[in-house]
Amino acid sequence: MEDWLRRARQMVAGLKPVKVPPAPARAFRDLWPGDAARGARLLRGECEIAGTARPLRPAEEGGEGWGPGSGSVLWRAGVHGFAWLRDLRALGTDSARLLARRLTSDWLARGGNDSLAAAPEVAGARISAWLGHYDFLAATAEDGFRRALMMRLAQDARALVAGLPAEAAHRGALVALKGAMAASVALEEEGWLSRCVRFLPAELARQFLPDGCHVERSPAQHMAALQDLIEIRNLLHGAGIEAPEELAALLDRAGPALRLFRHGDGGLAAFNGTREEGASLLDLVLTQGQARGRAPAALPDGGFHRLQAGRTLLIAECGAPPPARARDPNGLPRGADRFHHAGTLSFELSVGRDRVVVNCGAAPAAEAPWRDALRSTAAHSTLTAADTNSAELRDEGIGPRRPERVEVERHEASGAQWLEASHDGYLKRFGVIHRRRLYLSESGDDLRGEDVLEGGNPPAFTVRFHLHPEVAASLLEEDAGVLLRLPSGAGWRMRAAGARLSLEETVHQSGEPRRSLQVALHADQGGGVVRWVFTRMSPPPQQG
């Protein structure tokens, strides 16, 4: 019924005229840096979205990129949302500006007819991109180009405002609302803006959990949603409108929550669709968000924990996936589990600025085989039972077979910290519960863990520890353990009991895929507790 009412409102709105000014009523400026290397790649005809590069060319150069067969639905959503404008602006050359106009003209003539382009989250992203880069894209363009751009912007905005609140249960709904608000200010449509502001508090409550964690439980989407909040705050301030008090309160919670996901190198931990990104953007987001306070030890609603002692940091995922939703007619996921991985109870470990144990990363805009390989349980530093994912992976998110009950207890004493967590993702399939215990000493020099499948006749399982590509690893004699050498030169030793230890190849997705190694602990069917320990090795004595 809600979908029907939304379409009816949009049809009625389409009958009403909207004034189209020759240029936006006020200046906009995108806050976030692009990537000049990606901009240069686009000049060569390839567009990179979330680490996946595909051809994107205007008609006179081959005309690839807009149609249904040009890439995955999420890659195409990024292309139709004009995410690439930021990278061309970062390049900043005349050839980059001219390519931006050629691609935009081509999209207005051909690409804009694709139904995916009208999806609320895509249209909202495109409106924000056009307005945020208007000076770069259109300010010095010919009149015909500017008229066509502003006309399409007004048409998209009218449909967006009429369709509020957006149906998606993920960040896409916030992107749609942000785009509608920006267009309302640019077109001086006070009625539209009032409608947007009226829906804002409810959308904020829907987007973030009480502890400040974004509902998608993805560090990358959390950071992107915080960027949206900052843009909305600045937009309302620039328009002379008092922001709802809920917005300031949410910024105060979401900023510190983002710090929980931050490793010693300044980048984000790789959970649920998050790729290893540099620290500079995260620094800028925290600064713009005026985030105060240290990283919390836990996000109880989001299900993430942070254990830190000395220079050692462990970040663990101990929460259940968000509720599932069906895809929309264009194939876009609607649920907050859209980027979710089958990595429950996985963790990442860093020492100082060195990442040590990691998950394999993500390629959310890649084609299904590679995307889902990185979403699998085996691509995470956790236990995999019988080579089976702990959650069913589907294009739209997580299927019905998923962890439903994830329990965690945290204790601290005399500076030492430990977690005891469990999930039931294997209960329906094998009748067992995965239980993991983690202990970090007060000095941070000793990390111990236990993994076990409890109940029935447990199947064979493997506990994996994916190592960062910069970590050198070698087996000790008689497979007694693994010696780890970190980029800083520090040495760690990993030992295990209750399983066969091996050092195997793996892959790490940070930009381009990189080969790396994993420590794998293989336990037989009916196996008991697997115990393991990472210990810092004492430096050799100084020579006199």
DSSP 68: G
In words, the CATH class of domain 301-536 is mainly beta
DSSP 329: T
Would you place residue 66 in the very low, low, confident or very high pLDDT band (cuts 50, 70, 90)?
Answer: very high
Would you place residue 157 in the very low, low, confident or very high pLDDT band (cuts 50, 70, 90)?
Answer: very high
pLDDT digits (tens, 9 = 90+) for 401-456: 999 999 999 999 999 999 999 999 999 999 999 999 999 999 999 999 999 999 98
Where do runs of H (alpha helix) occur along 378-447? Answer: 427-430
Mean pLDDT estimate for the chain: 94
Cα dihedral: 61, 63, 65, 68 (round 10): -160
User: For the ranges 252-261, 291-300, 310-319, which has the lowest average pLDDT?
Assistant: 291-300
CA dist 330 and 419 (Å) reads 42
Q: At which residue do the structure tokens 């030492």 appear?
A: 416
pLDDT digits (tens, 9 = 90+) for 385-399: 999 999 999 999 999
Q: At which residue do the structure tokens 């003209």 appear?
A: 105
Q: Is 307 helix (H, G, I), strand (E, B) or coil?
A: strand
Residue 13 has pLDDT above 60, yes or no: no
Q: Is 383 helix (H, G, I), strand (E, B) or coil?
A: strand
Would you place residue 292 in the very low, low, confident or very high pLDDT band (cuts 50, 70, 90)?
Answer: confident
Residue 543 has pLDDT above 80, yes or no: no
Residue 206 has pLDDT above 80, yes or no: yes
Burial class (CB in 10 A: 0-12, 13-18, 19+), 49: buried
CA dist 164 and 9 (Å) reads 9
CA dist 335 and 357 (Å) reads 30
Residue 501 has pLDDT above 70, yes or no: yes
> What is the predicted pLDDT for the residue at 284?
96
* Rounded mean pLDDT, 189-198: 96
- What would the DSSP string read from start to end of 41-96? HHHTTEEEETTEEEE---GGGT--SSSGGGS-HHHHHHHHTTTTHHHHHHH--HHH
> What is the predicted pLDDT for the residue at 3?
62
Would you place residue 477 in the very low, low, confident or very high pLDDT band (cuts 50, 70, 90)?
Answer: confident
Pick the closest to residue 318 from 360, 258, 378, 380 (CA basis). 380
* Rounded mean pLDDT, 206-235: 98
CA dist 169 and 165 (Å) reads 10
Helix (H) or strand (E) holding 523: strand 512-523
Contacts of 110 (CB under 8 A, 6+ apart): 59, 63, 66
Contact 36, 48 (CB under 8 A): no
Residue 493 has pLDDT above 50, yes or no: yes
Helix (H) or strand (E) holding 333: none
* 3-state percent breakdown (helix, strand, coil) of the chain, nearest 5: 35, 25, 40
> What is the predicted pLDDT for the residue at 541?
47
Would you place residue 27 in the very low, low, confident or very high pLDDT band (cuts 50, 70, 90)?
Answer: confident
pLDDT cut 70: percent of the chain above it: 96
Residue length, the chain? Answer: 544
| Structure tokens given for 365 | 């805009």
Pick the closest to residue 81 from 35, 123, 132 (CA basis). 123
User: For residue 288, which phi and psi values (nearest 5 degrees)?
Assistant: -65, -35
CB count in 10 Å sphere of residue 28 = 20
Residue 6 has pLDDT above 80, yes or no: no
Residue 400 has pLDDT above 80, yes or no: yes
Where do runs of H (alpha helix) occur along 239-357? Answer: 245-260, 279-288
Break the chain into its structural domains and give their ranges: 2-207, 301-536
| Structure tokens given for 425 | 């993702």
* Rounded mean pLDDT, 460-468: 98
CA dist 14 and 3 (Å) reads 17
CA dist 88 and 31 (Å) reads 15
Strand partners, 462: 384, 522
CA dist 266 and 356 (Å) reads 14
pLDDT cut 90: percent of the chain above it: 90
